[in-house]
Amino acid sequence: MRTEKGKNQTPILSGSKQDQNPGGMMQLLLFDIDGTLVDTGGAGSRAMTLAFHDICGVEDAFSSISMAGMTDPTILEEAVSMARESGRHVDCNFEDVYSSYLDHLQNELRSGANPYRVLPGVTETLDELHEDPDFLLGLATGNIAEGARVKLEHGNIYHYFKFGGYGSDHGNRTHVVKRAVKRGSEYAAPRDVTRAVVIGDTPRDIIHAREAGAEVVAVASGFHSREVLAEFNPDLILDSLEEGHALWEYLSRG
């Protein structure tokens, strides 16, 4: 993944706003992955379950854990503490779990056994936003960075994202968002970032975006209904990214 943007970088579009206003403002758009961009059809949780069994010796460790919106390290910590509460001795290295998880994730996705899909409207919306040089697209996800790459490459949408904050950076999602903003700001330089907008599908995306000082657009395409998301007061709610025009209007208001 690129971590810096050189001054001589070719503008995305010839004659773009970047040419006209190289010192102008830039907006960071920070996308969640599961339930926002893709539905892995259970491949992600199955891969984590298999890895936890391989490395930690506990079967079906996540059946009573609601993973939505949690970071990968927090999911593992929760599974370890639940196993210990039930009297199991669990002592495993999370790096080993991640390594096994990535192998299982690739296998699960390649096998075609899971109904993986890029969610409706996602590719079209990313295409449009990516073409506007005032927007810089990144990730703010609880997935470890390599897991994020695998999940998005499978749907051919990884190339849209120039930077990110990940579960492998921090277990606390607020810090994940802050890390994404920091990396995005470095990438955008010398242009100034005036705004960071998280796009996610769970109350946790909303809460932690706010804590990190970002705006937040909630999409009801994942694990939570529009009504549930509304209780957490996001700046905008969409049924899915098929409503890309509403997102575009919101972002254009600056």
In the complex, the smallest distance separating the C-beta of residue 94 from Mg ion, rounded to whole angstroms, is: 21
Q: Which of residues 56-85 bind Mg ion (CB under 5 A)?
A: none
CB 52 within 8 A of CB 58: yes
CA distance 229 to 242: 18
Query: Which C-beta is closer to Mg ion: that of 35 or that of 44?
Result: 35
Q: Does 201 bind Mg ion (CB under 5 A)?
A: yes
Helix/strand/coil for 193: strand
Q: Which of 29, 30, 31, 35 binds Mg ion (CB under 5 A)?
A: 35
Which pair of structure tokens corresponds to residue 59? 């079967």
Stretch touching Mg ion by CB under 5 A, among 6-14, 25-33, 120-128, 175-183: 25-33
Which pair of structure tokens corresponds to residue 181? 């903003």
Beta strands 135-140 and 215-219: pairing type?
A: unpaired
Q: Which of residues 168-197 bind Mg ion (CB under 5 A)?
A: none
Q: Which of 18, 32, 70, 177 binds Mg ion (CB under 5 A)?
A: 32
Q: In which region does residue 142 sit, left (phi positive, over 0), alpha (psi from -120 to 50) or beta (all else)? A: alpha
Q: Which of 26, 28, 34, 214 binds Mg ion (CB under 5 A)?
A: 34
Q: Does 39 bind Mg ion (CB under 5 A)?
A: no
In the complex, the smallest distance separating the C-beta of residue 176 from Mg ion, rounded to whole angstroms, is: 12
Helix/strand/coil for 49: helix
Residue number with the smallest Cβ distance to Mg ion:
35
Q: Does 164 bind Mg ion (CB under 5 A)?
A: no
Helix/strand/coil for 44: helix
Cα torsion angle, 159, 160, 166, 169, sign:
positive
Query: Which C-beta is closer to Mg ion: that of 68 or that of 188?
Result: 68
Instruction: State the residues that interact with Mg ion by CB under 5 A.
Output: 32, 34-35, 201
